[in-house]
Amino acid sequence: MERVLKQGFNIDYSYNIYFTEGIFAPQNNLLRDFFFQRRNPDFKQKVLFVVDRGVWENHPALAGQIKDYFQDLDDVVLAGEPLILAGGEVCKNNPEALESIVQTIDDYGVDRHSYVVAIGGGAILDLAGYASAISHRGIRHIRIPTTVLSQNDSGVGVKNSVNYKGKKNFLGTFTPPVAVFNDYSFLSTLDNRSWLAGISEAIKVALIKDLDFYNWIQAQADDLPRRDSQSMSELIYRCADLHLEHIRNGDPFELGSSRPLDFGHWSAHKLEQLSNFEVLHGEAVAIGIAIDVVYSYLIGNLSEHEALSVVHLIHHLGLPVYHPILSKPEGKQQLIKGLTEFQEHLGGRLTVVLLERMGKGKDYHQIDTEYVLQAIDFLSEFQQAYNQLDEVS
């Protein structure tokens, strides 16, 4: 006799992305109000901070600001001293970094009614979010992104991960934060590479979803590299809004094979690995976008003028469109292998987003590697032309 019990339920996720400056300033009540609204009258909730070492060193007043801010809060208490970890992709490659967060959670008795607050770039947020998700089957985590890329893309989403066996984001969870606080003041200490790298994610989402936004980025192409804070804050807000819209109305937990927000990423992930992560994620995405835009031109979806306009914009913003790794046959072959790894990461058939037209992406399930190689050669010639101009000038 066969018997079946059917189970089904829905879970409603809701979290806010706040935009502010000076989150730990005494007069800034944003974080204070957040904890007050979620207070537990029976006990004080613990808060553990995990901080990117680069942020910690570039903001020497941060330690005192956090202590002073929490001294005045009645509903939460610091679990202990902040845990300071090296940021960047190295932390996602290092099992000891993950272990240190889990161990600190255990040492300080941080439970499911408590909070882990991560301050740093996308890698630290990924790591701390993953550690929070697997500890006690889920500790509430709060993100305070400190880079352009994490404020406009990775930090506002629902994914957490670490790298494993040389594969990017092999271990991870879909666990939304309880809140994200984008504090623009942290951007002031970014080096120029990090400032510019995050712009690539805005170009990406604009090209596949919002042509008006892409045209706006073009109009700001002189101001953004000059570190105009008003232009950058607007770019971050609009880019984050488009990412959230996709998560909200698309496939938030990526149960299907279509991942529009990974436009330009199949090659970017491989480029990061091939460069031993010397190429920043946003820089690799810029190159990946250039490859896929030229590919879209080669298959007849874009005009040459449209494709060149995108490549020129990326270059004008100070982002790379090519890397010397791709000059050698083995480099190209390794990059092509990224397609297979991308398919494995999806767990289904290959799905790569290309441009059907400017402002609209389209899924493709087959990629002609000859066109990929032609796109790489196209970008190589583009880069050589600019190198020659630089030599003349």
For 214-244, the DSSP string reads HHHHHHTTTTTTTT-HHHHHHHHHHHHHHHH
Q: Is the pTM of this model over 0.85?
A: yes
Residue 11: band (very low, low, confident or very high) from pLDDT cuts 50, 70, 90? confident
**Average pLDDT score over the chain:** 92
Crossing angle of helices 199-209 and 281-298, rounded to 10°: 30
Give DSSP secondary structure letters for 134-145.
Answer: HGGG--EEEEEE
Going from the C-alpha of 351 to that of each of 150, 157, 366, the distances in angstroms are 25, 21, 8
Q: Which residue has the tokens 């600019």?
A: 386
138 vs 379: CA distance, rounded Å: 45
Residue 63: band (very low, low, confident or very high) from pLDDT cuts 50, 70, 90? very high
Residue 97: band (very low, low, confident or very high) from pLDDT cuts 50, 70, 90? very high
Q: Of 120, 128, 122, nearest to 157 (Cα)? A: 122
Instruction: Tell the CATH topology of 192-392.
Output: Dehydroquinate synthase-like, alpha domain (1.20.1090)
What pLDDT is attached to residue 74? 87
16-189 and 192-392, same CATH topology: no
293-344 confidence digits (pLDDT tens): 999 999 999 999 999 999 999 999 999 999 999 999 999 999 998 887 776 6
In a 10 Å sphere around its CB, with 0-12 CB exposed, 13-18 middle and 19+ buried, how is residue 21 labelled? middle
Mean pLDDT, range 58-72, rounded to an integer: 95
359-374 confidence digits (pLDDT tens): 999 999 899 999 999 9
CATH architecture of 16-189: 3-Layer(aba) Sandwich (3.40)
What pLDDT is attached to residue 310? 97
26 vs 43: CA distance, rounded Å: 24
Percent of the chain's residues with pLDDT above 70? 96
Mean pLDDT, range 200-208, rounded to an integer: 96
380 vs 291: CA distance, rounded Å: 11
In the chain, where are the structural domains located?
Answer: 16-189, 192-392
236-292 confidence digits (pLDDT tens): 999 999 999 988 887 777 776 567 778 999 999 899 989 988 999 999 999 999 999
212 vs 206: CA distance, rounded Å: 8
What pLDDT is attached to residue 347? 59
What pLDDT is attached to residue 374? 96
SS3 19: strand
